[in-house]
Amino acid sequence: QYGDYDPSVHKRGFLAQEELLPKRVINLYQMTPEMWEERITAWYAEHRGRARDEAEMEYLKIAQDLEMYGVNYFAIRNKKGTELLLGVDALGLHIYDPENRLTPKISFPWNEIRNISYSDKEFTIKPLDKKIDVFKFNSSKLRVNKLILQLCIGNHDLFMRRRKADSLEVQQMKAQAREEKARKQMERQRLAREKQMREEAERTRDELEKRLLQMKEEATMPNEVLMRSEETADLLAEKAQITEEEAKLLAQKAAEAEQEMQRIKATAIRTEEEKRVMEQKVLEAEVLALKMAEESERRAKEADQLKQDLQEAREAERRAKQKLLEITTKPTYPTFPINPIPALLPPDMSSFNLIGDSLSFDFKDTDMKRLSMEIEKEK
């Protein structure tokens, strides 16, 4: 009905609407419908590759041994009016209780029946053994008796035919059937092998494609790392240049502040107000010069740190180039051209240095004493 088992098609729940087992069997076991479906699907998968006609034949071989296989039931009544069931199958006639269709109360095998007849609604079974009483029963309709008689004649003929030896024609037909079955079996095995080889080839192809994609990704990663290293080196070089310019500007401002302080010191202020103004300016100039010196020193340290970061970036860039070179030299990896990386800094960058000494102010005690003496003289 569903063809050969395919896990991509026969997914969980595809048997939910099917009545595969009788309620009597389901009630014998404490299993949910989901558990039954899982068990049946597992059996279905075990017989993968079996042909349809072969599966039907195996099913019939198992089903014919069941108690109710091939039995046709008819509702009847005996002389006392008791409700019974008449079963007709390939082995004979059986009388059942309506509540139990598995075990017959009375059985009449075909080889023990002498005659079967009916008159109107009354049906008569005469055994070969005259010591056994004739069994009579009534059916509900006349056409039911006709149907029962036809089934009895057909099953009795088949029973007698099975007891006879096979004719030459039948033997030839059976031999041809066996040869045809063997040929189909070989054809199925050949198709199964071809299918398996095709599936293995497809799996191998998928694995190779996956491996190739992985190799491409592995070859692309070092190139991306190299590009990021180049970008980082460019940014660090630009930042180092900006820091150098800021340090030069601060040094220039510190020099101007030093000159202004020296000019103020050299100017002779005569009045008390001018002295206070001069002292205030001198103090402000000293504070400004001190701040400028501290800022210049901080900028110089930052420039040194940037130099170190730039050196580390260049080292990372060199390692990325080395790793990319190692990958491209492998025979199984695709090669990528490596463009030379331009110099990120001017050639004289190695001599880049910030002069922090020029930002310091050398206020000697003798100068301060001399200035104090001049102020006292003016007082």
- The verdict on 292 and 240 lying in the same domain is yes
Q: Which of 141, 147, 160, 159 is nearest to 89 (CA)?
A: 159
Q: For residues 288 and 257, give the distance between their C-alpha atoms in angstroms, rounded to a whole number.
A: 7
- The verdict on 318 and 365 lying in the same domain is yes
- The verdict on 126 and 47 lying in the same domain is no
- The verdict on 35 and 90 lying in the same domain is no
Which residues on adjacent β-strands are paired with residue 137?
A: 123
Average pLDDT over the chain reads 79
What confidence tier does 369 reach under pLDDT thresholds 50, 70, 90?
A: low
Number of separate domains in the chain: 3
- The verdict on 236 and 374 lying in the same domain is yes
The tally of CA atoms less than 13 A away on the side-chain side of residue 311 is 9
- The verdict on 242 and 293 lying in the same domain is yes
What number is the average pLDDT over the span 155-159? 89
CB neighbour class for 275 (10 Å; exposed up to 12, middle 13-18, buried from 19): middle
What confidence tier does 93 reach under pLDDT thresholds 50, 70, 90?
A: very high
Residue at which a domain ends, from 163, 183, 202: 163
Asked if the structure places residue 60 within a domain, the reply is no
Which residues on adjacent β-strands are paired with residue 324?
A: none
Q: What tokens appear for 325 in the block? A: 């070179």
pLDDT tens for residues 274-298?
778 878 888 888 888 888 888 888 8
| Per-residue confidence (pLDDT) for residue 344, from 0 to 100 | 40
What confidence tier does 342 reach under pLDDT thresholds 50, 70, 90?
A: very low
Q: From the centroid of its chain, how far is CA 217?
A: 20
- The verdict on 43 and 85 lying in the same domain is no
- The verdict on 140 and 248 lying in the same domain is no
Residues in the chain: 379
- Dihedral sign (CA 90, 93, 98, 99): negative
Q: What is the DSSP string of 8-68?
A: TTS-TTTTTT---S-HHHHHHS---HHHHHHHHHHHHHHTTT--HHHHHHHHHHHHTTSTT
Tell me the residue range of the domain where 28 lies. 1-51
Amino acid at 170: V
Asked if the structure places residue 367 within a domain, the reply is yes
What confidence tier does 97 reach under pLDDT thresholds 50, 70, 90?
A: very high
Entry pTM: 0.42
Asked if the structure places residue 235 within a domain, the reply is yes
- The verdict on 31 and 157 lying in the same domain is no
- On the question of pLDDT at 9 being above 60, the answer is yes
What confidence tier does 219 reach under pLDDT thresholds 50, 70, 90?
A: confident
Q: What stretches of the chain show up as alpha helix (H) in DSSP?
A: 23-28, 33-46, 52-63, 142-163, 168-266, 272-328, 365-378
- The verdict on 364 and 230 lying in the same domain is yes
pLDDT tens for residues 34-75?
888 888 888 888 877 777 777 888 888 888 888 788 889 999
Termini Cα distance of the chain: 125
Asked if the structure places residue 36 within a domain, the reply is yes
Q: Which of 359, 339, 341, 342 is nearest to 298 (CA)?
A: 359
- On the question of pLDDT at 154 being above 70, the answer is yes
What confidence tier does 84 reach under pLDDT thresholds 50, 70, 90?
A: very high
- The verdict on 245 and 308 lying in the same domain is yes
